[in-house]
Amino acid sequence: MIRYFTAGESHGKALVGIVEGMPAGIEISAEYINHQLWRRQQGYGRGGRMKIETDTVEILSGVRFGKTIGSPIAVIIQNRDWKNWTDKMAIEGTGAGIEKISVPRPGHADYAGAKKYGFDDIRNVIDRSSARETAMRVACCTFARKLLEDCQVFIGSHVLSIGPVLIKDRKKIDRLIIRSGENSCFVSEKADSSDVRMLDRSAEARAITAIKKSKKSGDTLGGVFEIIVSGVPVGLGSYVHYDRKLDGLLAQALMSIQAIKGVEIGEGFANAAKFGSEVHDEFMLRSRKIMRKTNRAGGMEGSMTNGEMIVLHAAMKPIATLVKPLRAVDLRTKKIVQSRYERSDVCAVPAASVIGESVVAPVLANALLEKFGGDSLKELLNRYKI
């Protein structure tokens, strides 16, 4: 099974990752991964860091002549900002003369993290809890994404809302999704051409205005994005045991992204307010093929894929670092002070949607490997018989 680990601080020398359990024979290149890293850095409302560095990955092991060889894959992304932080983030020395951060920012890991690990300098918490870590997650997960693509399973996403601005013409978007047929990446490519990854152009303009307004007033915004997975066979995951339930595993992966506070499978929340007859997806037959009239369940029944597209929604809270400061307590002096501001995004929902696409990839790849198995792509494809 595929596992991955990430290490590295936001302002440290580099981010590193290890991906273990990838079958052999999957064609992959740094360029392919860099494209996903680039997508993670886009979106209207990002902060200064996106301007100072373009992430690129170096593959150090586990790939030979452009293909995975089954051994652990090691990857590295250099932090170009490191040169400005060599003293503050030094590996050696005592830290003498370096200012300690003692004011925790509301909405961040700062307070609980400092208490938990007994730090008198919150920098230790800030630098690892930061969403900078997701650059390496995207890099690691792209290996699983490629495996899925080789099995004709495609992951796409787009943004449904930013702050109070919601997409309006859902029917038009649904038609686009249906038109994308077996390749939901088509939806993603369309979304990539929008600065806020919205498929509704009037909502896009209103969302950009909302972000501008929020920036002007020193505030921030969150939003909701949708993940669509096409080409998924029936019966991935299982209903037999809690830790094999695919819906639970997908929700965990999405919820583990910084600032994601809600996850929904299909129309989960809206369905809760409806009658069963309005919710459950009736069966139909088309040329003896078993199909559904609707997909309100988001492609999952009994914690397994049911052959329809998987549809997932994730809600991101507004960015917690505000130019307009919130009240905080200085842990050293125990006095009420204003929270600190550190270079920050105003809105990162478009980027989060790309991270969302990435983190579900190893979950789905593992479900595929669990069902069909295979030490190499060839073996997997023979068993999967596409």
Ligand X SMILES: Cc1cc2nc3c(=O)[nH]c(=O)nc-3n(C[C@H](O)[C@H](O)[C@H](O)COP(=O)(O)O)c2cc1C
Question: In the numeric block, which tokens belong to residue 73?
Answer: 């894959």
- 3-class DSSP assignment, residue 152: coil
Q: In whole angstroms, how close is the CB of 234 to ligand X at the nearest point?
A: 32
**134 touching ligand X, by CB under 6 A:** yes
How many CB atoms within 10 Å of residue 132? 21
- Give the nearer residue to ligand X in terms of CB position, either 47 or 70: 47
Alpha helices in the chain (DSSP H): 30-40, 49-52, 110-117, 123-129, 133-150, 170-179, 185-192, 201-216, 246-255, 268-271, 276-279, 349-372, 377-384
What is the Cα–Cα distance from 318 to 221, expressed in whole angstroms?
A: 4
DSSP 8-state assignment for residue 81: G
The binding track of 30-49 with respect to ligand X, each residue x by CB under 6 A or -, is -----------------x--
Q: In whole angstroms, how close is the CB of 41 to ligand X at the nearest point?
A: 9
Q: In whole angstroms, how close is the CB of 149 to ligand X at the nearest point?
A: 23
List Cβ<8 Å contacts ≥24 apart for 205-210: 206/165, 207/44, 207/159, 207/162, 207/163, 207/165, 208/44, 210/162, 210/163, 210/164, 210/165
Backbone phi and psi for residue 286, each to the nearest 5 degrees, phi listed first:
-130, 115
The residues pairing with 61 across neighbouring beta strands, listed in sequence order, are 74
Of positions 19, 351, 361, 363, contacts ligand X by CB under 6 A: 351
**15 touching ligand X, by CB under 6 A:** no
- Give the nearer residue to ligand X in terms of CB position, either 71 or 217: 217
Q: In whole angstroms, how close is the CB of 318 to ligand X at the nearest point?
A: 9
- Give the nearer residue to ligand X in terms of CB position, either 265 or 351: 351
Q: In whole angstroms, how close is the CB of 322 to ligand X at the nearest point?
A: 8
Q: Would the CA dihedral through 225, 109, 34, 64 be positive or negative?
A: negative
Of positions 121, 344, 371, 381, contacts ligand X by CB under 6 A: 344
Supply the angle between the helices 133-150 and 377-384 in degrees, to the nearest 10.
50
Task: Give, as ranges, the residues between 216 and 275 that touch ligand X (CB under 6 A).
Answer: 257-259
**162 touching ligand X, by CB under 6 A:** no
**Residues touching ligand X, count (CB under 6 A):** 21
The binding track of 171-200 with respect to ligand X, each residue x by CB under 6 A or -, is ------------------------------
Of positions 345, 359, 365, 384, contacts ligand X by CB under 6 A: 345
The binding track of 80-119 with respect to ligand X, each residue x by CB under 6 A or -, is ---------------------------xxx----------
Binding interface with ligand X (CB under 6 A): 47, 107-109, 129-131, 134, 257-259, 317, 319-321, 344-345, 348, 351-352, 355
